[in-house]
């Protein structure tokens, strides 16, 4: 008569054996993970995420976490009475908004993630892109057509930046000391001012600068879906362009995939769009043949 407990233990052992080739393949490599979306606000999913990054670090992978925090910034702005202005869906970041964004991102959220990792048995150090001059930013330039004249106009989004240079020394120092860097998407401008940077964009730029093996964008969708709702598991920049043209890809997925394309064309081996709401999605993607999201390679 078979022992159910023994069978369960054997299944766990087989899972570890199946994962071994992937552990060996990625040992010593770097993974950059953008953590955000609704998964970040779910305590149960936060525990799963922390356990995943601690496990990856334990098997010899250098994990770098870059986090977002848009909803939390919005809530704090409302709490302190700062009204947000939006242009074409983009938040205009004036000086007061930039100060709140830095407080929320570099403070409460950053240290909360560090705490989750500590609870899961790991060691993390929370920093922002300003620390050690890690990320310098240039002001984001956007244009839009005037609805009446149809003339292109420059839109001033205030203290919103995009990465211009990445100095990886701080990240490498933290990683080499056995800790996990947790990075808030705040950067320093050319005049020494503070710029708020989109977390996806920050993660992509850091992944490229580090020559990361993987960039993971944890989102609120399973990945890139075809028109029938099936997951597309492997894409190239050329394939993505075709999917944009025929309308398969639209809305918020477009800038995410553009981030992936920029990263893989600038030195990151591959990028993955994953559903952060699925427990242990990263482990399923890395340690199984089937994977769990959409993988993007340069060619």
State the CB neighbour count (10 A cutoff) for residue 294.
Answer: 27
110 annotated as belonging to a binding site for a ligand: no
State the CB neighbour count (10 A cutoff) for residue 69.
Answer: 26
Asked if residue 125 lies in contact with residue 174, where contact means CB atoms within 8 angstroms, the answer is yes
| Measured CA distances, 136 to 202, 251, 273 (Å) | 11, 28, 26
91 annotated as belonging to a binding site for a ligand: yes
Residue 298, φ and ψ in degrees, nearest 5: -65, -35
196 annotated as belonging to a binding site for a ligand: yes
Which alpha helices (DSSP H) does 166-252 contain, by range?
Answer: 169-176, 199-210, 237-245
- The contacts of residue 168 (CB under 8 Å, 6+ apart) are 134, 206, 209, 210
69 annotated as belonging to a binding site for a ligand: yes
Cα gap 14→3, rounded to integer Å: 17
Cα gap 167→180, rounded to integer Å: 17
Q: Which residue has the tokens 């010593």?
A: 28
Which residues sit in the known binding site for substrate? 69-70, 91, 196
Which residues sit in the known binding site? 69-70, 91, 196
């Amino acid at each position: 008569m078979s022992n159910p407990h023994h069978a369960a233990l054997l299944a766990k052992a087989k899972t570890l054996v199946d994962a071994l080739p992937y552990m060996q393949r990625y040992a010593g490599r770097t993974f950059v993970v953008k953590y955000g979306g609704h998964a970040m606000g779910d305590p149960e999913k936060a525990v799963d995420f922390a356990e995943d990054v601690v496990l990856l670090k334990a098997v010899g992978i250098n994990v770098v976490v870059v986090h977002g925090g848009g909803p939390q910034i919005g809530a704090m702005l409302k709490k302190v009475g700062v009204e947000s202005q939006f242009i074409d869906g983009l938040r205009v970041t004036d000086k007061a908004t930039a100060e709140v964004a830095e407080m929320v991102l570099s403070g409460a959220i950053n240290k909360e993630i560090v705490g989750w990792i500590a609870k899961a048995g790991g060691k993390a150090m929370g920093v922002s892109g300003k620390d050690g001059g890690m990320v310098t930013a240039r002001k984001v330039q956007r244009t839009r057509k005037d609805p009446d004249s149809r003339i292109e106009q420059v839109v001033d989004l205030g203290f919103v930046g995009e990465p211009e240079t990445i100095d990886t020394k701080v990240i490498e120092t933290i990683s080499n000391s056995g800790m996990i860097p947790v990075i808030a998407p705040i950067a320093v401008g050319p005049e020494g001012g503070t710029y708020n940077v989109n977390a996806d964009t920050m993660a992509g730029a850091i992944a490229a600068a580090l020559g990361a093996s993987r960039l993971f964008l944890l989102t609120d969708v399973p990945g890139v879906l075809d028109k029938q709702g099936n997951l597309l598991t492997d894409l190239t920049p050329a394939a993505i362009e075709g999917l944009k043209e025929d309308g398969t890809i639209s809305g918020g997925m477009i800038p995410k995939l553009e981030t992936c394309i920029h990263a893989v064309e600038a030195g990151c081996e591959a990028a993955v769009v994953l559903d952060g709401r699925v427990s242990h999605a990263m482990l399923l993607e890395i340690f199984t043949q089937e994977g769990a999201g959409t993988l993007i390679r340069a060619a």
